[in-house]
Structure 1
């Protein structure tokens, strides 16, 4: 029942009729399955890509030793009752923030969500499993550092200016650029 509900926009009543159950049972079962899946997968990295293939793809795009690009976006949601200010964006609609890292083709490699609209990207990043894995060097096990122009460069993730600069997390240079 939970698989049917999660895989389609079918109503609880319709699914209940298919399985000879009450609609509330379909809702309860779906909720329990989602809780179980969350408990199994929380704070675990599930990798469906070959990191070396991603790095080679970024190398072809002139981003050397890069394992992904990181940013966040707002997903419009129905505002939970009684929490309008928390979820309402300055543009006037309720949203949650999705932090995502993509590969060289734009495919999702890592996602983290669940934070209300008014939360800053850095706070979300610091509370995500990705930050902890990156700090401990566990996100890129077995990936080698490269030496470019005499400088040792670890595998890196590209991010926008809102994110902190780390040895493994690169962001745009924020100062004045001169010819020298």
Structure 2
């Protein structure tokens, strides 16, 4: 990760082309970025006794779903079942510690926001600097320092997960409102919607995709790509947590 930052700073300082940096740092033209990740809340149906655990900061009863997509907007890992109040960093620790959890090849990384740890396999932006794309729009809002420029480029690339999640919820109404089904079934429903999302991306033509996007939000977009690699429900998360506590 340090080498990637050094390459980035070298480009800023010397205004050189990508192939020159590749030669000087002995790197191939293949990007080390596999995609992006983020958490999202999806409303669930739960008994009254379960509400405190699943209540988000906005007062909704929801599960915190951990989502990872590739650079083409296809889901490669999804984990649902964690309570809505659970912090994203806690969910990410669960994801990487599971035997069949998210595995990031050495030297590669997924983009994440500041709510996740800036560790091996995860590349977060600089804290305390402008980050969201809306902050760069308009005259006079261009980056004025290397860290701001890094955050702007990071945000632009990381935005693929926001667009993907927006398109997912735009396609499937069952993910936008509180489900009539128990939380265990709803978690499986989330997985099914992600699988169908990938299938549609693979089979749709570009024109069909544009029409679909117009029905959601102009800020959301995705492109075609490979089908899902791994997906797992977290119905047994309680058992896993109890084992850790022993």
TM superposition score normalised by structure 1: 0.50
Q: Give the strand-richer structure, 1 or 2.
A: 1
Q: Give the helix-richer structure, 1 or 2.
A: 2
Report which structure shows greater RCO (CA 8 Å, sep ≥6).
Answer: 2
TM superposition score normalised by structure 2: 0.37
